[in-house]
A = this chain, B = another copy of it.
Amino acid sequence: MKLLEEKIAKEGTAIGTEILKVDMFLNHQIDPALIMEMGKEFYRLFNDCGATKVVTIESSGISIAVATALEFGIPALFAKKGDHKNVGTDVYSAKCYSFTHAKEYQMKISKKYLNENDKVLIIDDFMAGGNACNALIDIIGQAGAEVVGIGIAIEKGFQPGGKELRQKGYKVRSLAIVDSMCDGKITFRPDIDC
């Protein structure tokens, strides 16, 4: 997605070869018009997948998931992290290690909102090692629901998450894939399928 790549190039910050900060427009401050365009783009990429629900993980994935769900005319649903009292005890849950927070946490979705008839489009802001996405796939499997697509705003192409999920047969589409970062220069994978 050209618009997102331009935004990353202009307002993102590469720190070393691993860390990409996009808190100017995506995961702290948010550009609402960009978010809505991302929703439209995910609809274009996945509108034939028969999704009944868009599922993401709090917090940065939420607005993208809602923008996408709006286009599909279906609900969005976000997995909660940690010890949420108000999610109840009747939940699907999976453990996930977060490199950002350097700790393991529990990811939960209430059993009320996911069942075996659901076809789930997973949406998230970032894909690196794929830990969060795999925990979400685990939860969706517990519900007997089907993952029909995985849409990622920014994939770190030099980390294995996206590649491994594609090898497992999932339809993974990323709006921008960063292949490398060196001396502050961000190189995108050209001609990606989106």
Contact = CB atoms under 8 A, between A and B. Distances in A.
Interface of A: 21, 23-25, 27-33, 35-36, 58-59, 62-63, 65-67, 69-70, 73, 75-78, 80, 83-87, 100-102, 109-110, 112-113
| Pairs A-B, 6 closest by C-beta atoms | A32-B70, A58-B59, A63-B66, A59-B59, A30-B76, A32-B69
Name the prevailing secondary structure of the A interface residues.
mixed
A21 B100 contact: no
B110 A28 contact: yes
Given A23-B86, A28-B110, A84-B101, 4 more contacts: A23-B110, A32-B76, A59-B59, A62-B63
Given A58-B59, A101-B83, A29 B77 contact: yes
Contacts of A75: 25, 29-32
B77 A101 contact: no
A70 B36 contact: yes
B77 A30 contact: yes
A10 to B, nearest CB: 15
B100 A32 contact: no
